[in-house]
Amino acid sequence: MKIVVCVKQVPDTKGGVKFNPDGTLDRGAMLTIMNPDDKAGLEAALRLKDQYGAEVTVVTMGLPKAEEVLREAMAMGADKGVLVTDRVLGGADTWATSTTLAGAIRNLDYDLIITGRQAIDGDTAQVGPQISEHLNIPVISYAQDIKIEGDSVIVERQYEDRYHVVKAKMPCLITALSELNEPRYMTPGGIFDAYKADITVWGRADLKDVDDANLGLKGSPTKIAKASDKVRKGAGEKVTLDPDEAVSYIVDKLKVKHVI
């Protein structure tokens, strides 16, 4: 079995967030981590590899430094890494990203594609399902459990109060939740092996069956009007009043602020 896992290098929320003048994230200037949902997807792939035997290829699109997440994935146990990087792919929204990733994945053999549900920087949950549309394969999103049966996958699809058991023929795409599992740690030896391994680097020219009009910032229908870091709130106001007085006080405050 061949599994492709899409991972994204995202800003570490412990560090500060920095923006480019056009409102997109300045990814080069921020501390980064592997997106948590993607890491769960990778862990799911590695468990399938442990259980059934599989070759796991990790694909990421990003700046050259996104290679770090591929090395991390390989230090956890992934077999191969593909970095898709090109200036013309920068500033991509979900449409341009999914177009790019699908263009890269068309070069690979796969039975299963696993992506995270969503990335903590964009929070759209669109890229995984869009890739499946581009590749014309079924998608099962929000997986909380994955099993293989013959040429099919059986997935528990999570809802708030229940789950559905969905069976789909491979090849198909699954989006994983960070609640799916506890990702394994890397191993020290795995880290050094990962840095000795070759990473495949693809640019625009290597993408298969994609149109330039659907790539990068120019090919992104999403236009950012304004972006800002969250603003710290003030310390607030503390008052000690009797209940009746307190209610009047709060109501007055809300009126002043035109909340009521």
Partner 1 sequence: MDFTLSKEHEMARSLFKEFAEKEVKPLAQEVDETETFPRATVEKMAKLGFLGIPVPKEYGGQGCDPLTYAMCVEELSKVCGTTGVIVSAHTSLCCDPILTYGTEEQKQKYLIPLAKGEKLGAFGLTEPGAGTDAQGQQTKAVLDGDEWVLNGSKCFITNGKEADVYVIFAITGTVEKRGRMTKEISAFIVEKGTPGFTFGTKEKKMGIRGSSTYELIFTDCRIPKENLLGQKGKGFNIAMHTLDGGRIGIASQALGLAEGALETTIEYVKERKQFGRAIGAFQNTQFQLADMATKVEAAQLLVYKAAMAKATQKVYSVEAAKAKLYAAEVAMEVTTKAVQLHGGYGYIREYEVERMMRDAKITEIYEGTSEVQRMVISGALLK
Question: Where does this chain touch partner 1 (CB under 8 A) — which range of 64-72, 89-97, 135-143, 246-254?
Answer: 64-72
Candidate segments 15-23, 50-58, 185-193, 215-223, binder of partner 1 by CB under 8 A = 185-193
Compute the Cα dihedral for 247, 251, 254, 260 and give only its sign: positive
Q: CA of 128: how far to CAs of 32, 195, 227, 238, in Å?
A: 21, 28, 24, 47
Task: Please name the amino acid found at residue 248.
Answer: S
Q: Which is nearer to partner 1, 51 or 187 (CB)?
A: 187
Residue 189 CB, nearest approach to partner 1 (Å): 3
Q: Interface mask (CB under 8 A) for partner 1, residues 110-129, using x and -? A: --------------------
Cβ nearer to partner 1, comparing 128 with 183:
183
Q: Please report whether residue 43 would count as binding partner 1 according to CB under 8 A.
A: no
169 vs 34, 136, 151, 203, CA distance in Å?
29, 13, 6, 31
Structure tokens at 67: 């290679």
- Closest listed residue to residue 105, CA positions, set 171, 151, 43: 171
Kindly state the tokens that stand for 74: 């390989």
Residue 192 or 249 having the CB closest to partner 1: 192
Which of 164, 195, 211, 213 touches partner 1 (CB under 8 A)?
195
Instruction: State the helix-helix crossing angle for 36-52 and 67-76, rounded to 10 degrees.
Output: 40
CB of 186 to partner 1, least distance (A): 5
Amino acid at 109: D
Give the torsion through C-alpha atoms of 144, 149, 151, 154, to 10 deg. Answer: -30
Q: Is residue 40 at the binding interface for partner 1, with CB under 8 A as the rule?
A: no
Residues in the chain: 260
Looking at residue 243, its amino acid is P
Paired residues of 152 in beta bridges: 149, 169
Residue 140: which of 115, 118, 162, 104 has the closest Cα? 115
Q: Does 10 bind partner 1 (CB under 8 A)?
A: no
**Helices 67-76 and 188-196 sit at what angle, rounded to 10 degrees?**
130
Q: Lay out the site mask for partner 1 across 136-175 (x = CB under 8 A, - = otherwise).
A: ----------------------------------------
Rounded to the nearest whole angstrom, what is the least distance from the CB of residue 32 to partner 1 in the complex? Answer: 11
Binding segment toward partner 1, per CB under 8 A, in 46-54, 98-106, 188-196, 233-241: 188-196
Question: Could you say which of 15, 87, 109, 192 contacts partner 1 (CB under 8 A)?
Answer: 192
Q: For partner 1, which is the closer residue by CB, 74 or 112?
A: 74
Is residue 132 within 8 Å of 146, Cβ to Cβ?
Answer: no
Residues 65-84 that bind partner 1 (CB under 8 A): 68, 71-72, 75
Among 186, 201, 217, 224, binds partner 1 (CB under 8 A): 186
Which residues contribute to the site for partner 1 (CB under 8 A)?
Answer: 68, 71-72, 75, 185-189, 191-192, 195
